[in-house]
Structure 1
């Protein structure tokens, strides 16, 4: 999942607040459930501030974090199963066709940290090979909702036949929490660590945030380990066919639209008041040929006023508020993204028909963080 994502099936609780007097909820107010999982410090995220900043920016935006509640994640998993959504099956093909090399690169007794783990459908291909070959490995699934992590990991363990050689653990935290987690894990010292980031989710992030994240993880690991034995396996989508991409992000079954519009409910829940009237908004998804990216937005169907605390914002009819920008990166563009990081490309496992690659990256001996 392309962002700090996660959550699941509609049972996550929202604290009751006085109408029109929003507190400052944290991300865990929106996504947390009582399930055993190691958690991060995402209470420090000020959702109110993020929403306010995004709505006052130009163009207007809302934090994509708000899409990944229980309902949103469930919708997203259904979207990934749609015939229109090519990314899942294409990346799964790449993994299946190169699973021997992938398993070898991770190694026996290796540690896998997956960012935005989701349903684990593609990850199960890799871990299934470890179980089948009786190779020990430790896997950490990082996502935002504890209940979703618990459910996905239980399904994974069943798929693996409860193999004692594949240890699976949930990390209920944000990407930035994950950096701190890596820095504080003594057991990682001397271990071969693989950071798995699938689904071309990296391209939802601004390039500077991508660089900060991979540098942060690399530095955290290097500082806590006597050896530099870390790699990244990152899925990158370079498909720029407007019609194919548009169908993937605006699926014919309408699920993409439900997914985006569900974010309106989460804005209201995060703010503790009915700030957005769902009847005044519609889905708007567009391919931007200049940015080579798909915009997932909501569009105002009439001129309206939105009040956040003591602030009043005038929204014009037809004005868009963006949730996600899904960039498509060619191999040369992705190499530019790596500029300013400690990483270099070791191998690219590519799809035979689609412009989609799984990049094996490792710190360059000449790179200095």
Structure 2
């Protein structure tokens, strides 16, 4: 770690987040097989590209989940009840949470995200548009334990985890996250989770290999970020985006595949690639309703209600913490 930090001192501001990024990147690229965490997709450029992905005709999850939240808002409100505090894990753009805020009578909203500037701006917008709502942003990594604001102590808690982000975790990591969320939210908590469902592989392939190439640019932007923030010298034209469906694991896998044999310099380390060798950048697990129910039960939650679209492409699930 010290050699990585020393290299950063010479070329980049060695703040805590940059140092963690450097450590994770070097560890991932020297691992066999090579891998990078998908949480590093979301710099400013990556976040903008992902917003473009959500509007692509092939990419069904976002619009399908929005339709479910819009159409089933009254039913969700009936389950949640009034005057709860809504805690959103990994809060991003407010499009989805606004649908809940319009349907349900929350006393407070606690968006949790590691990006402080973005979080603050989103919180300010919500205070303006929902003046009766107490908004308490928390800057934290939602995948680790964090403290809720003292202002919502004693209020019933509802977790919100939309976007099928649960599918980006390995199943054991998803269990760990759900257990952590249960501990954070406390006794009697509920949680609203977006879960992508198993479907025709052709639909999945098109969603992650769009004709416009936006997902490819999103994936390759991770290398661009490494070049910019960590002084790497990746040649983006020497890598190609590839997304495949792994039937055995029930998941889409995203990779960056080396077109040729090459070496990359990064923070004093030389990383060699064989032609055809890949960097595994993301998994997106697809669940049956039964398999996700079993995962939830193993994590201390019970599935109370499942809402899907007519084609059963996507689900929004209401969980209740078991005693």
State whether structure 2 residue 174 is matched by structure 1 residue 204: no
Maintained 8 Å contact 1:191/1:229: no
Q: How does 1:257-336 map to 2 (within 5 A)?
A: 257-271=216-230, 273-336=231-294
Q: How many residues align?
A: 317
Cα distance in 1, alignment partners of residues 192 and 139 from structure 2: 21
Maintained 8 Å contact 1:136/1:165: no
Residue 196 of structure 2 corresponds to: 237
Instruction: Indicate how the Cα distance of structure 1 residues 341 and 136 shifts in structure 2: closer, same or farther if over 3 A, else same.
Output: closer
Maintained 8 Å contact 2:64/2:314: yes
Q: How does 1:31-46 map to 2 (within 5 A)?
A: 46=20
TM-score, with normalisation over the residues of structure 2?
0.89
Instruction: Indicate how the Cα distance of structure 1 residues 136 and 359 shifts in structure 2: closer, same or farther if over 3 A, else same.
Output: closer
Q: How does 1:1-369 map to 2 (within 5 A)?
A: 17-18=9-10, 26-27=16-17, 29=18, 46-130=20-104, 135-156=105-126, 162-177=129-144, 179-182=145-148, 185-222=149-186, 228-271=187-230, 273-365=231-323
Instruction: Indicate how the Cα distance of structure 1 residues 286 and 136 shifts in structure 2: closer, same or farther if over 3 A, else same.
Output: closer
Cα deviation code 1:305-349 (max 9, x no counterpart): 234445433211111111111111111221232243111111112
Once the two structures are TM-superposed, the CA of residue 154 in structure 1 deviates from its matched residue by 4.7
Cα distance in 1, alignment partners of residues 317 and 95 from structure 2: 19
Once the two structures are TM-superposed, the CA of residue 98 in structure 1 deviates from its matched residue by 1.3
Maintained 8 Å contact 2:254/2:280: yes
Cα distance in 1, alignment partners of residues 202 and 138 from structure 2: 37
Instruction: Indicate how the Cα distance of structure 1 residues 216 and 72 shifts in structure 2: closer, same or farther if over 3 A, else same.
Output: same
Instruction: Indicate how the Cα distance of structure 1 residues 150 and 186 shifts in structure 2: closer, same or farther if over 3 A, else same.
Output: closer
Instruction: Indicate how the Cα distance of structure 1 residues 251 and 304 shifts in structure 2: closer, same or farther if over 3 A, else same.
Output: same
TM-score, with normalisation over the residues of structure 1?
0.78
Cα distance in 2, alignment partners of residues 263 and 202 from structure 1: 21
SS in 2 for 1:180: coil
Once the two structures are TM-superposed, the CA of residue 76 in structure 1 deviates from its matched residue by 0.5
Instruction: Indicate how the Cα distance of structure 1 residues 336 and 270 shifts in structure 2: closer, same or farther if over 3 A, else same.
Output: farther
Once the two structures are TM-superposed, the CA of residue 249 in structure 1 deviates from its matched residue by 1.6
Once the two structures are TM-superposed, the CA of residue 281 in structure 1 deviates from its matched residue by 1.6
How large is the Cα RMSD of the aligned pairs? 2.4
Q: Any gaps of 5 or more consecutive residues in structure 1? A: 1-14, 30-44, 223-227
SS in 2 for 1:139: strand
Maintained 8 Å contact 2:198/2:250: no
Maintained 8 Å contact 2:197/2:289: yes
Once the two structures are TM-superposed, the CA of residue 149 in structure 1 deviates from its matched residue by 2.7
Once the two structures are TM-superposed, the CA of residue 270 in structure 1 deviates from its matched residue by 4.0
Maintained 8 Å contact 1:238/1:355: yes
